[in-house]
């Protein structure tokens, strides 16, 4: 088959990558192209994979480690999409706490897979509120070492996407673009919104035609990088909930996410992201939290019924054990004496030190 264009779109936890990448895939398919997506996480049971699969796009998943530390697994996912759907375009979403992607992913792709793959410029999404804080020299409410990862993601990007522009005024956006351009003059700055569609076609034009990928290599201190990931507790879990009578699962989902948010805010734990999806048959409701309680958002509807499958992904600045305790106790408080809870899968962890398969020190 002919070569496939591969688009790597990174960005810190909560930047809105999954929503934007689905909209990008939808637009590409609308132009007659065959598009596939690759999701990535330190553990299986991904909300993103479940959500994207329901949107009619072919999804491959690399779980258990990041792309850079499992480059062979990443390539296997790429090859699967090329073989199964003859993908014209593949959009890959790395773990939100990963950086050094230019050295560990983009350069190896250019070196070893140039016959099969056309590598697009490295794109990094940035939430406007966190971006503004980082540009001011602050930490965006994150641990300083997690904020270090955020800065390095921006530093190595060919394209910086200021995301969620529907949440800020045109005046604030104009100022933010100027500040970002000044701070990162070698990167192309594009404002995008998955909700309004602003900037998406402009970005797709850039990543569909440009071949100047991975022009920037960041100087990474892997001790700081490793600790920046380790300050986050990670939890992926799936349960089946069943009631004796019909339950309003949309309300339950919102209450669950809201209750988690209150617990994290009360403990002053910084939230990277919390994502949940409740599924029943062809219906689903999905929610996410990317900071304090005001960032809570829910979309879709699973309606009422007796049973759902509920998947939770949480990345929060606390120990894995404490995160597990909060999520379990919150779920128990909402289900006690009313719902039967069956655990399908449940894992909580602290990411290990990044050990990339390849790491180039020069641009290919």
Q: What is the pLDDT of residue 50?
A: 81
Q: pLDDT-derived band of residue 83, with 50, 70 and 90 as boundaries?
A: very high
Q: Could you tell me the pTM of the whole model?
A: 0.91
- Mark 42-61 as b/e (b = at least 16 C-beta within 10 Å): bbebbbbbbbbebeebbbbb
Residue 202's alpha-carbon distances to 139, 156, 193, 289, in angstroms, are 30, 21, 12, 28
250: left (phi over 0), alpha (psi -120 to 50) or beta: alpha
3-state secondary structure of 136: coil
Selection from 160, 212, 150 nearest residue 187 by Cα: 160
Domains located in the chain, CATH noted: 4-229 (3.40.50.300), 232-349 (3.30.70)
User: Are the C-beta atoms of 301 and 288 separated by less than 8 Å?
Assistant: no
Task: State yes or no: pLDDT of 68 exceeds 90.
Answer: yes
Residue 156's alpha-carbon distances to 22, 103, 108, 193, in angstroms, are 24, 9, 15, 22
Residue 70's alpha-carbon distances to 42, 66, 79, 275, in angstroms, are 11, 6, 14, 24
End-to-end CA distance of the chain: 25
Q: What is the pLDDT of residue 63?
A: 83
3-state secondary structure of 25: helix
Average pLDDT of the segment spanning 350-358: 93
Task: Give 362's DSSP letter.
Answer: S
Task: State yes or no: pLDDT of 258 exceeds 90.
Answer: yes
3-state secondary structure of 328: helix
Selection from 99, 199, 197, 116 nearest residue 150 by Cα: 99
Higher pLDDT pick, 46 / 121: 121
Task: Say how many C-beta atoms besides its own lie within 10 A of residue 333's C-beta.
Answer: 11
Residue 246's alpha-carbon distances to 19, 174, 243, 334, in angstroms, are 30, 49, 7, 15
Tokens 């099969």 locate to 116
User: Are the C-beta atoms of 348 and 320 separated by less than 8 Å?
Assistant: yes
Task: State yes or no: pLDDT of 169 exceeds 90.
Answer: yes
Between CA 332 and CA 237 the distance in angstroms is 14
Q: What is the pLDDT of residue 1?
A: 65
Q: pLDDT-derived band of residue 53, with 50, 70 and 90 as boundaries?
A: confident
Relative to beta strand 4-11, strand 35-41 is: unpaired
Between CA 222 and CA 180 the distance in angstroms is 25
User: Are the C-beta atoms of 331 and 240 separated by less than 8 Å?
Assistant: no
Between CA 25 and CA 330 the distance in angstroms is 35
């Amino acid at each position: 088959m002919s070569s496939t264009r591969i688009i790597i779109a990174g960005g810190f936890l909560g930047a809105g990558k999954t929503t934007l990448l689905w909209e990008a895939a939808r637009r590409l398919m609308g132009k007659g192209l065959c598009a596939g997506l690759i999701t990535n996480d330190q553990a299986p049971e991904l909300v993103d994979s479940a959500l994207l699969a329901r949107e009619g796009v072919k999804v491959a998943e690399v779980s258990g480690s990041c792309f850079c530390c499992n480059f062979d697994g990443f390539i296997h996912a790429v090859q699967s999409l090329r073989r199964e759907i003859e993908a014209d375009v593949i959009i890959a979403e790395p773990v939100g706490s990963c950086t050094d992607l230019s050295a560990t992913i983009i350069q190896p792709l250019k070196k070893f897979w140039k016959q099969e793959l056309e590598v697009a410029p490295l794109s990094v999404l940035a939430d406007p509120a966190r971006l503004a804080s980082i540009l001011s020299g602050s930490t965006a409410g994150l641990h300083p070492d997690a904020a270090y990862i955020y800065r390095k993601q921006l530093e190595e990007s060919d394209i910086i996407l200021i995301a969620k522009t529907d949440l800020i005024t045109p005046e604030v956006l104009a100022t933010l673009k100027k500040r970002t351009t000044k701070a990162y003059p070698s990167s192309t700055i594009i404002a995008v919104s998955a909700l309004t569609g602003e900037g998406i076609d402009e970005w797709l034009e850039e990543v569909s035609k440009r071949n100047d990928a991975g022009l920037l290599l960041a100087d990474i201190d892997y001790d700081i990088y490793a600790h920046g990931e380790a300050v986050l507790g990670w939890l992926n879990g799936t349960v089946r909930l069943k009631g004796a009578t019909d339950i309003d699962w949309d309300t339950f989902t919102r209450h669950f996410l809201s209750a988690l948010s209150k617990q994290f805010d009360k403990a002053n734990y910084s939230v990277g992201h919390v994502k949940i999806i409740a599924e029943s048959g062809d219906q689903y409701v999905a929610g996410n939290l990317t900071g304090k309680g005001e960032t809570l958002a829910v979309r879709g509807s699973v309606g009422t019924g007796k049973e759902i499958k509920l998947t939770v992904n949480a990345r929060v600045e606390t120990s894995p054990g404490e995160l597990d305790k909060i999520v379990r106790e919150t779920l128990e408080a909402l289900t006690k004496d009313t719902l039967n809870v069956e655990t399908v899968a449940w894992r909580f962890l602290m990411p290990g030190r990044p050990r990339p398969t390849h790491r180039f020190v020069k641009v290919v």
